[in-house]
Amino acid sequence: MRRSCFLVTNPAMATRTSLRSLTRTTQLLSPRRPWTCSSCKYGWSIPRRGVATTQKSKPYYVTTPIFYVNAAPHVGHLYTMVIADIMKRWQVVLGNTDAQLLTGTDEHGMKIQQAAAQAGMDTQAFCDMNCRTFEALAKAANLDNDHFIRTTDPAHREAVQYFWEMLQHRGYIYTSKHEGWYSVSDETFYPQTQVQNSLDPTTGRKRMVSIETGKEVEWSSETNYHFRLSAFKDRLLELYKREDPFITPTTYTASVINSVATGLQDLSISRPAERLTWGIPVPGDDSQTIYVWLDALVNYLTKAGYPFPPGKEGTSAWPADLHIVGKDIVRFHCVYWPAFLMALDLPLPRNVLVHGHWTMNREKMSKSTGNVVNPFFAIERFGVDGMRFFLAYRGGLSDDADFDNSFIIRDYKKSLQHGIGNLAQRTIGCARGKLRSYITDAQSDKLPSATPEDLEHQALLKEAPTKVAEQMENLNPRAALQETMSIIEQYFHATEPWRIPEPQRVLYNVAESLRIAGILLQPFMPGKSHDLLELLRVDTSDPSKRAFAATAYGSDADYGEGVQRGILFPPLLTEE
């Protein structure tokens, strides 16, 4: 049955209209303008209730949150991008070459409207300008993103309106007067239990703020559309208690469960257009603008091909395998988003990976307060892979991490310049042009007998890739990177190959350490890992030589021909 037939027989939808003149929350007036539903315009059919999409094979799909363009990006945005890129590139190393990464910008909402007005700019022009900055950051960070979405894209607008219509058709949207504490900065209402009195530290002015974010709130009363979020309490609680955790790390799960179990209220999902004009209008009701978070969350579906053409649902990248989010937007991604999807019987994202914040002097970085690090300056100073390494190596998932230039310099010198870089230089130097012969001898078991130190390191090389893979499977890239770095530490200096008469086995083991590390580091430092593998003459023409299977100890017999010294990590131009 065509969806238009449903609309004709649905009185609530047939009489949808402006809320501006409502005197009672249940009163609906006649439409003010002719309106054509999306299914009629585009031939989309309505999904049957209770029928979920099944998918046998799909690309591995990773997303970042879409970034708000009210101000320039800071290093926290870079961190989110880098973690998502690492998770996508890891899939490619595993052989899933069709893995996809989505990032983009969130360009609707009151903060954007106000920021554009303060800048004296047309709102769309303001979004265009700031969007280009985030696109430039993705490029500067060497992100291997397959898509960059903007919520001002026409295709996204259509997807959001269709999503709204489906929610309304199924009876999950109703009109009501809403009163509560509203934060313009967070673009959300807070109940009384989630706000508190506070003093503005700069002015001493008393104000109400969100307990969660510390942002100022103001009392607001308005009539708008609501989503029946409370109807999904039991299903959400089941989701959080499944054996395969929906939220990683699980340290965030308890607070989410508590917030849902102790009183899940219906959600206001529109704003009066007289207050918020910059957004997607409610279908058939120009007096209301769709709530920015409903609008924003649908972006993950938009680039997966939503609305899915009939019979093509199984060919989509949806559901997302991994959403990467900061801890301040857990509620939106782990409560609102799955509930929206449950309402339409759409598959849920498989995992939400949450990370902590980057702080400066132990205070959260914030664009609004100016307590930020310019990511472009940091990349220019420390190099893109130097920054990627530091963020992944020190960034927190369960906890916050403090940012300081001296920390980056410390890790760059210890782990990269004096670690990987120095090890490669000294190994090639000690081999004196014979490294290739040592690799050949290893294949025919002609190396000198192994010492206990050799056997211990060889065991480490055999075990490390599996441990790294387990950490990545557990969505812990930081631990995976630390495991990777463990295979290049200690052994060379402990065995002192420059002092022993037959150093062939030691130098082969160190070469294997560098080769295996080079493969495992590809998601983290794609540029420098490429340079390292090139330095070792690992075959570029055969992708299998740089895939995860090639991390097996002794699995590549063909590298090492004509290796020469090269500087992988030069000294930083300026140091503190």
Name the least confident of 81-85, 308-312, 344-348.
308-312
Q: How far apart are CA 64 and CA 53, in angstroms?
A: 23
Residues of the chain with CATH 1.10.730.10: 405-551
pLDDT recorded at residue 42: 38
For the segment 49-65, the average pLDDT, to the nearest whole number, is: 69
User: What phi-psi label fits residue 432: left (phi over 0), alpha (psi between -120 and 50 degrees) or beta?
Assistant: left
- Of 541 and 205, the structure prediction assigns the larger pLDDT to 541
Residues of the chain with CATH 3.40.50.620: 61-161+292-386
At residue 56 the predicted structure's pLDDT band, cuts being 50, 70 and 90, is low
Q: Which residue is listed with tokens 């997607």?
A: 280
pLDDT recorded at residue 275: 87
pLDDT recorded at residue 202: 65
For the segment 12-17, the average pLDDT, to the nearest whole number, is: 36
Output the CA torsion 385→391→394→399 (10° steps). -170
Output the CA torsion 521→523→529→533 (10° steps). 90
Classify the C-alpha dihedral 30-32-33-35 as positive or negative: negative
Cβ 298 vs Cβ 160: under 8 Å: yes
At residue 222 the predicted structure's pLDDT band, cuts being 50, 70 and 90, is confident
At residue 39 the predicted structure's pLDDT band, cuts being 50, 70 and 90, is very low
pLDDT of 11 above 70:
no
> Whole-number mean pLDDT of the chain?
87
At residue 29 the predicted structure's pLDDT band, cuts being 50, 70 and 90, is very low
Q: Which residue is listed with tokens 């003010």?
A: 32
For residue range 79-111, list pLDDT tens digits in order: 999 999 999 999 999 999 999 999 999 999 988
For the segment 529-536, the average pLDDT, to the nearest whole number, is: 97
Burial (CB count within 10 angstroms: exposed 0-12, middle 13-18, buried 19+), residue 414: exposed
Cβ 271 vs Cβ 295: under 8 Å: no
For the segment 469-493, the average pLDDT, to the nearest whole number, is: 95
% residues pLDDT > 70 (the chain): 86
Cβ 525 vs Cβ 388: under 8 Å: yes
At residue 272 the predicted structure's pLDDT band, cuts being 50, 70 and 90, is very high
Comparing C-alpha atoms, which of 225, 214, 217 is closest to residue 176?
225
Structure tokens at 290: 């769709």
> Which one-letter DSSP state was computed for residue 232?
G
The topology under which CATH files domain 405-551 is Isoleucyl-tRNA Synthetase; Domain 1 (1.10.730)
Comparing C-alpha atoms, which of 16, 20, 24, 336 is closest to residue 176?
24
Structure tokens at 423: 């090890």
Q: How far apart are CA 363 and CA 358, in angstroms?
A: 8
Non-local CB neighbours of 552 within 8 Å, separated by 6+ positions = 462, 465
pLDDT recorded at residue 347: 96
Output the CA torsion 186→187→190→195 (10° steps). 30
pLDDT recorded at residue 184: 64
For the segment 153-163, the average pLDDT, to the nearest whole number, is: 98
pLDDT of 27 above 50:
no
pLDDT recorded at residue 44: 41
Q: How far apart are CA 308 and CA 305, in angstroms?
A: 6
Q: How far apart are CA 416 and CA 210, in angstroms?
A: 42
Residue 212: in which H helix or E strand, if any? none
Residue 232 amino acid letter: F
**Maximal C-alpha separation, the chain:** 94
- Of 20 and 279, the structure prediction assigns the larger pLDDT to 279
Work out the end-to-end distance of the chain between its first and last CA atoms, rounded to an integer number of angstroms. 69
Per-residue buried b or exposed e for 315-335, using 16+ beta carbons within 10 Å of the residue's own CB: ebbbbbbbbbbbbbbbbbbbb
Comparing C-alpha atoms, which of 441, 439, 443, 433 is closest to residue 563?
433
pLDDT recorded at residue 549: 97
Q: Which residue is listed with tokens 């940012």?
A: 403
Q: What homologous superfamily is domain 61-161+292-386 in, according to CATH?
A: HUPs (3.40.50.620)
For the segment 228-248, the average pLDDT, to the nearest whole number, is: 97
Classify the C-alpha dihedral 40-41-44-46 as positive or negative: negative
For residue range 118-152, list pLDDT tens digits in order: 999 999 999 999 999 999 999 999 999 999 999 99
pLDDT of 334 above 70:
yes
At residue 369 the predicted structure's pLDDT band, cuts being 50, 70 and 90, is low
pLDDT recorded at residue 67: 97
For residue range 180-211, list pLDDT tens digits in order: 777 766 667 676 777 788 877 666 677 888 77
Residue 518: in which H helix or E strand, if any? helix 504-520
Residue 251 amino acid letter: T
For residue range 401-425, list pLDDT tens digits in order: 999 999 999 999 999 999 999 999 9
